[in-house]
Amino acid sequence: MKSKHTRIYNCRICNATEMEVVILLKQMPFTDEFISKQDIGNEFLADIEISICKVCGCTQNVNNTDMDDYYNEYTYSVQSSGFAIQFMGTLAERVKERYFRANSAPKVVEIGSGTGEQLLEFKKLGCEVLGIEPSEKLAEYANGIGVPTLHAFFDGDINNILPDNFKSVDLIISSYTYDHIPQPITVLKKIHEILKEDGIMIHEVHDLDLIKQRNEYCLFEHEHYTYLNERSISYVMGANSFEVDTFSLLLQNEKRANSLLVAARKVNCVKKYEVDVQFELKELKQLNQDVSVSIHRIQSWLSDNANVKVVAYGAGGRGIMTIAALNDVSGIKFIVDKNPKAENIFAPKSHLPVYGIDILGVEHADKILVFSFGYFKEIVNELCDKFGYTPNQFVSILDLLEPKNA
């Protein structure tokens, strides 16, 4: 897929032109564009340039990538993960309890509502719900499970398509969507317009501070336009007439990895939240250094293991992007995944073949580098049981990534 890629020169948040590129990942693919043999070389590749605005201190991607087709065809969903479903249920309960005890049927809109499973949890609690979803297939699925969903982007024209009974609502939420929005301020203004007085807005985004802690440069993707932390997201909310209510709706272990969950209330004046721009700049520069060091560390680990057969486990975004940033992938034989997207596919940029895990029973690996580190134990157990591997053959990518392991 060839997509349009254009440079921006103004801050997505405050419109200033004082932007400094701090992290540069050269010629990176989409996380999800697996290719067939004949399409090798035709995949989308472009530099990812992560910059910081020296006026407001917000970190952001300074390229716009045309994603309309990508999102329309998007079918990835969290529907199979028990943990995600549990998270959604807990979130709905906490929100209802904290903000809508006196309101038996609050109106809830979700931006980028996917398969509708989060809204379904709100519906179970008596809320009236409406999803806005750019992928046609996902919107269809959501409608099928009883979650009314519009196939649309939530943008400046959203008022024209909202049904009359959803032109003024109590709660607007989004999950891993707000950081995918190229014009985050336009969307905030719309949210402000549609929310009732004292209405609540909740966003879940990737937390830049947690990315830094784990050195997870794979989360710098074409799909992600802004990278905020508690300090910068507070500034963004306040500058657009929202008052931050809490970052602790859920405990850390109830949230998904890297999640920053903010709840804010609509107010009628600007709120000032200070950001120390020099501090944010210093932090991002440190992250850049840590990223280079960890890329180097993975590369040396592969050289040290050049004489044995190394296989990568995990063809999700983390595996694909971490590998794509390496200069030399010849030390990896292939990638395996529990649920590969299709048969006979190759990873974008690295062009490593992607197989289901059964191949590990046929072609024995000496070492398995696990990118899906959240499931490390399960993966080790399964492969030992099924194919006779031993635990000392497994290495978690986290051990090579985290600065504290250097």
By CB under 5 A, tell whether 11 contacts Zn ion. yes
By CB under 5 A, tell whether 236 contacts Zn ion. no
Q: How far is CA 322 from the centre of its chain?
A: 14
By CB under 5 A, tell whether 13 contacts Zn ion. yes
- Whether residue 216 contacts residue 208, with contact meaning beta carbons closer than 8 Å, is answered with no
Got the DSSP string for 183-232?
-HHHHHHHHHHHEEEEEEEEEEEEBHHHHHHHT-GGG--TT--EEB-HHH
Give the nearest distance from C-beta 357 to Zn ion in angstroms.
45
Q: Which two tokens stand for residue 87?
A: 């998270």
- Whether residue 112 contacts residue 180, with contact meaning beta carbons closer than 8 Å, is answered with yes
Stretch that binds Zn ion, among 10-18, 212-220, 321-329, 383-391 (CB under 5 A): 10-18
- Whether residue 290 contacts residue 215, with contact meaning beta carbons closer than 8 Å, is answered with yes
By CB under 5 A, tell whether 185 contacts Zn ion. no
User: Distance (Å, rounded) from C-alpha 380 to C-alpha 397?
Assistant: 14
By CB under 5 A, tell whether 284 contacts Zn ion. no
Give the nearest distance from C-beta 222 to Zn ion in angstroms.
21
Stretch that binds Zn ion, among 5-13, 90-98, 208-216, 339-347 (CB under 5 A): 5-13
Helix 184-194 / helix 230-239 crossing angle, nearest 10 deg: 60
By CB under 5 A, tell whether 14 contacts Zn ion. yes
Binding mask 15-44 for Zn ion (x = CB under 5 A): -x----------------------------
Give the nearest distance from C-beta 60 to Zn ion in angstroms.
8
Residue 238: CB atoms within 10 Å: 19
Sign of the four-CA dihedral 370, 288, 263, 118: negative
- Whether residue 132 contacts residue 112, with contact meaning beta carbons closer than 8 Å, is answered with yes
Looking at the DSSP bridge assignments, the partners of residue 129 are 108
AA identity, residue 325: A
Give the nearest distance from C-beta 193 to Zn ion in angstroms.
22
Give the nearest distance from C-beta 235 to Zn ion in angstroms.
9
By CB under 5 A, tell whether 62 contacts Zn ion. no
The single-letter DSSP state of residue 137 is H
Looking at the DSSP bridge assignments, the partners of residue 261 are 204
By CB under 5 A, tell whether 228 contacts Zn ion. no
By CB under 5 A, tell whether 275 contacts Zn ion. no
By CB under 5 A, tell whether 1 contacts Zn ion. no
Stretch that binds Zn ion, among 45-53, 182-190, 264-272, 278-286 (CB under 5 A): 45-53
**Residues 6 or more apart whose Cβ sits within 8 Å of residue 388:** none
By CB under 5 A, tell whether 397 contacts Zn ion. no
Nearer to Zn ion, 85 or 277 (CB): 277
Q: Number of residues in contact with Zn ion, rule: CB under 5 A?
A: 7
Q: Please give the span between the terminal C-alpha atoms of the chain, in angstroms, as a whole number.
A: 38
Stretch that binds Zn ion, among 11-19, 108-116, 162-170, 316-324 (CB under 5 A): 11-19
User: Distance (Å, rounded) from C-alpha 175 to C-alpha 138?
Assistant: 15
Nearer to Zn ion, 10 or 81 (CB): 10
By CB under 5 A, tell whether 53 contacts Zn ion. yes
Please identify which residue in 23, 35, 50, 56 interacts with Zn ion, judged by CB under 5 A: 56
Nearer to Zn ion, 275 or 347 (CB): 275
- Whether residue 401 contacts residue 216, with contact meaning beta carbons closer than 8 Å, is answered with yes
Nearer to Zn ion, 16 or 210 (CB): 16
Residues near Zn ion, by CB under 5 A: 11, 13-14, 16, 53, 55-56
